[in-house]
Chains A and B, each alone.
Chain A
Amino acid sequence: MPVTIRAPNLPTPQDALQRADASDEDMSDDDLPTAASGTSIVTPGETITSDPQWMRGHGTYVPPSTTTIVSTVAGHLHKTNKLLSVQALRARYSPEIGDLVVGRIVSVGTKKWSVDIAAPMLASLPLSAINLPGGILRRRTAVDELNIRTFFSEGDLLVAEVQSLHQDNTASLHTRSLKYGKLRNGLFTSLSGAGGGVLSRRGGVVRSKRQTFTLNTAAGEVDVVLGVNGYIFISAHAAKTGSGTADGKDVGITRLEEAVSETLYSSQNDDMTPAIMGEITRVSTLIRGLAAAGRRVDEDVIVKVYEGAVELEAEEKSLGIKGGEKGVGAVGVVEAVLERLELGG
Chain B
Amino acid sequence: MTTAGKIVNNEIHLQSIHHQQTQPHQLHPPEHSDGEPETKKQEMPLDTSTYSLALLRLDGRRWNELRRIHAQINTQAAADGSSYLEMGNTKVLCTVTGPAEGRQAGQRGAKDNEAKVEVEIGFAGFSGLERRKRKSDKRTLEMQHTLSTAYSSLLLTHLYPHSTITLTLHILSQDGSMLAACINASTLALIDAGIPMSDYLVACTAASSATTSDSDNSDPLLDLNNLEEQELPFLTVGTLGRSDKVSVLICESRVRMERMESMLAVGIDGCKRMREILDGVVKEYGKRFS
Chain A residues in 8 Å Cβ range of B193: 90-92, 193
Chain A residues in 8 Å Cβ range of B7: 3
Q: Which chain B residues have a beta carbon within 8 Å of chain A's beta carbons?
A: 1, 3-4, 7-8, 11, 60-62, 64-71, 74, 77-81, 98-101, 113, 115, 156, 160-163, 191-200, 222, 240-242, 265-266, 269-270, 272-273, 276-277, 279-290
Does residue A277 face the partner (Cβ distance < 8 Å to B)?
A: no
A21 in contact with B66 given A43-B200, A44-B200, A120-B98 (CB within 8 Å): no
Does residue A88 face the partner (Cβ distance < 8 Å to B)?
A: yes
Closest to B112 in A: A168
CB < 8 Å neighbour of B196 from A2, A73, A76, A288: A73
The winner among A92, A202, A293 for most chain B CB atoms within 10 A is: A92
Chain A residues in 8 Å Cβ range of B242: 45
| Contact across chains for A73 and B280 when beta carbons are under 8 A apart | no
| Contact across chains for A192 and B80 when beta carbons are under 8 A apart | yes
How near does chain A come to B80, taking the closest CB pair, in angstroms?
A: 6
CB < 8 Å neighbour of B66 from A8, A17, A193: A8
List A residues 234-268 near B (Cβ within 8 Å): none
Closest to B115 in A: A120
| Contact across chains for B196 and A203 when beta carbons are under 8 A apart | no
Interface residues on A, range: 35 or more
Chain A residues in 8 Å Cβ range of B74: 90
| Contact across chains for B270 and A5 when beta carbons are under 8 A apart | yes
Complex Cα–Cα for A11 and B81 (A): 27
| Contact across chains for A18 and B284 when beta carbons are under 8 A apart | yes
Chain A residues in 8 Å Cβ range of B196: 44, 59, 61, 72-73, 88
Q: Contact mask A184-214 → B, CB, 8 Å, 1/0?
A: 0000001011000000001100000000000
| Contact across chains for A21 and B283 when beta carbons are under 8 A apart | yes
| Contact across chains for A192 and B78 when beta carbons are under 8 A apart | yes
CB < 8 Å neighbour of A169 from B60, B64, B161: B161
List A residues 1-49 near B (Cβ within 8 Å): 1-10, 12, 14-15, 17-18, 21, 39-41, 43-45
